[in-house]
Amino acid sequence: MAYEAFARKYRPKNFEQVIGQESVVKTLKNAIELDRISHAYIFAGSRGLGKTTVSRILTKALNCEKGITPQPCGNCENCTDIEKGSFPDMYEIDAASNRGIDDIRSLRDNVNYAPIKGRYKVYIIDEAHMLTREAFNALLKTLEEPPPHNIFILATTELHKIPDTIRSRCQTFIFRPPTTSQIKEYLKRILEEENIEYEEKALDLLADASEGGIRDSASLLDQAVTFGRGKVDTKSVEQLLGLIPETFIKDFITHLKEKNIKDMILITEKLESEGYDLNVFWKQINDIIHKELVNLSINEKASFFDQKDLEDLIYVQTIFNKAFNEGRNFSNPKHIYQLAILKLKYIKNLVSLREIYEKGIKISKDPQKTQPEGKEEKKRLDIQTAILKIGKEAGGVVSAILKKASIKDEDQYVTIIVDKNLKDTLEDKIKIIEKYFGKPVKIEGKEIKQEKKSKKRDEAVDKVLELFKGKIITYKEE
């Protein structure tokens, strides 16, 4: 027996089998029951959501030999002919192929004849927005004086391209993408009918990847069954979709939580050497971080991170997103992503804003510190407070750089001396910095020498330095 694609084989035969589209189905069923069928409908929505399918079910409901019913029998000659597409009173017109002029002309003649076999003649005009202006005008005349026993269904993926004159004479239904869990249920039903083994996780991935299209999900499932040699397992679905194996993702997130820079870098190396697309990987990581942030903020609970990570995670997301925007357009994204990982080193040294804030308050409330120590101490205090405010507006990376920079208040202006590599980062935010220092700011980039004195540092830094041919800019004891 020839292999039949799942989408075809499992095309809904009645309203009950339609997935999602609850309000469309409910309204149509009520109209049929109450004998209030409109003579013209617009079915609007993206491809593969069931516009053609529902049109055919409606045709059956109106022409089933058992009578007009929201539950057509599916077995009578009319129902089976409609199912096969050979029912003489159902006209399927593809406006995309010849833009419909001839079809609409013959339609105008045709509408005056009585149905051949059924009660209603149904005209399904697919991609109706592609009709020419003449075709629309011809159609409009028909819609203005609708002869009885004719139903028009205009299916379109681009509702806004249907002229208002037409729209005002039709009842419009919007077909919406089903939820991922509805898609998953649909896939599960097919697999169970087919007696095909599957893993739940694999179905999650397929449902996610089909982005709301039922037909796409069924086609993906066809491929997954072939690819997995008769079963649908996570590993082959990951491969099919070009996804990164979950272990890489989980390990990376774990290392991220522990700020284990070396192992994060090693994962990017491994992915590259095994031929995975680092952009896909980075996107998956960013999606997880985003989900975690949303969950932490809304539900106060997430899968990997805790409340105490929230502040850091916001910086991570800023850095990682920026890297993604650069990396995806860059021939060697690995360098960009590794640099982003390296930047997390700064976060490790960041004092939390709350901590700074609390310190700031304490210092200003302590009379012994603010008063007798005079001008020098007062100035330092202002700079600290300014950095705190700058950090809030310009981001933690900027305040981290400022905290380590040498800042001189020269009365008329302020000089900030930083490593030359960090100069641009500060220049980008100079407006904000000047606002809080309250005077013009000069940023000087300096070659800052690595300290000779040998210091303990972790091997992650060594690895990173070697990877980037870098050098240490600042060093802070933990």
Shortest Cβ distance from residue 61 to ligand ADP (Å)?
A: 15
Closer CB to ligand ADP, residue 172 or residue 415? 172
Closer CB to ligand ADP, residue 22 or residue 427? 22
Query: What amino acid is encoded at 217 in this protein?
Result: S
18: partner contacted, choices Mg ion, Zn ion, ligand ADP, none (Cβ within 5-8 A by kind): ligand ADP
Output the DSSP codes for 29-76. Answer: HHHHHTT---SEEEEE-STTSSHHHHHHHHHHHHH-TT-S-SS--S-S
- List the interface residues with ligand ADP, window 109-128 (CB under 6 A): none
Phi, psi (rounded to 5 degrees) for 38: -80, 155
SS3 state of residue 156: strand
Continuous segment of H or E residues that includes residue 125:
strand 121-126
Q: Exposed, middle or buried: residue 140 (CB in 10 Å: 0-12, 13-18, 19+)?
A: middle
Closer CB to ligand ADP, residue 172 or residue 425? 172
Query: What amino acid is encoded at 109 in this protein?
Result: D
| Distance of alpha carbon 464 from the chain centroid | 32
**How far apart are alpha carbons 34 and 170 in whole angstroms?**
18
- List the interface residues with ligand ADP, window 175-214 (CB under 6 A): 214
Cross-strand pairs, 173: 43
Task: Report which of 457, 398, 462 is spatially closest to residue 265, judged by C-alpha positions.
Answer: 462
Question: Which position among 79, 107, 218, 394 is part of the footprint of ligand ADP (CB under 6 A)?
Answer: 218
- List the interface residues with ligand ADP, window 50-69 (CB under 6 A): 50-53
Greatest Cα pair distance in the chain: 105
Closer CB to Mg ion, residue 87 or residue 337? 87
Binding status of residue 12 toward ligand ADP by CB under 6 A:
yes
Total residues in contact with ligand ADP, by rule CB under 6 A: 20
Question: Which position among 32, 48, 256, 278 is part of the footprint of ligand ADP (CB under 6 A)?
Answer: 48
Binding status of residue 52 toward Mg ion by CB under 5 A:
yes
166: partner contacted, choices Mg ion, ligand ADP, Zn ion, none (Cβ within 5-8 A by kind): none
Binding segment for ligand ADP (CB under 6 A), chosen from 10-18, 353-361, 384-392, 448-456, is: 10-18
429: partner contacted, choices Zn ion, ligand ADP, Mg ion, none (Cβ within 5-8 A by kind): none
Question: Which position among 15, 19, 93, 121 is part of the footprint of ligand ADP (CB under 6 A)?
Answer: 19
Task: Work out whether strand 414-419 and strand 406-409 pair parallel, antiparallel, or are unpaired.
Answer: antiparallel
Give me the residues that bind Zn ion (CB under 5 A), please: 64, 72-73, 76, 79
**How far apart are alpha carbons 302 and 292 in whole angstroms?**
5
Binding site for ligand ADP (CB under 6 A): 7-8, 10-12, 18-21, 47-53, 155, 214-215, 218
